[in-house]
Amino acid sequence: MRHEDFETTLPPHIGEDKAFLEERVRYLYIGGWVGVFSSITMTIIELPRNGPIRVFPAFLFAVVAPFLLLQLHRSTEEYQKFLTRFSALIFVQQVLGVLLTFNEVLMLIWYPVFPLTYFFLLEYHQALRWNALALLVIVAGYFFFPFLNGIPAVPFSIFLSAILAYGVSVVLAGYHYRMIHLYQVRLKKEALIDNLTGALLRKAGLDELSRRMAQTDRRQEIPLFVALFDIDDFKRINDQDGHQSGDRVLSSISGAVRRSIRKGDTFIRLGGEEFLLVLSGNTIDQARSLAENLRQRIEREIQLDDGTGVTVSIGLTQYRSGESLSELLHRTDQLMYDAKASGKNTVCWQEPRTGPMIPLIPTVLTETDPPIPS
Residue 31 sits at the vertex; the CA angle it makes with 172 and 66, to the nearest 5 degrees, is 135
Which residues 6+ apart lie within 8 Å of 37 measured at CB? none
CA distances from 123 to 14, 232, 257 (A): 15, 44, 31
- The domain ranges of the chain are 5-192, 202-365
CATH of region 202-365: 3.30.70.270
**pLDDT of res. 85:** 87
Query: 355: phi > 0 → left, psi -120 to 50 → alpha, else beta; which?
Result: left
> For residue 354, what is the enclosing H or E element?
none
Position 329 confidence tier, pLDDT thresholds 50, 70, 90: very high
- As beta bridge partners, residue 316 has 227, 349
**% of residues, the chain, pLDDT over 70:** 87
| pTM, entire model | 0.61
Q: Is the pLDDT of residue 17 over 90?
A: no
Max avg pLDDT among 17-26, 44-53, 72-81:
44-53
Whole-angstrom distance, CA of residue 296 vs CA of residue 333: 20
User: Among 88, 93, 87, 89, which residue's Cα sits nearest to residue 138?
Assistant: 93
3-state SS, residue 12: coil
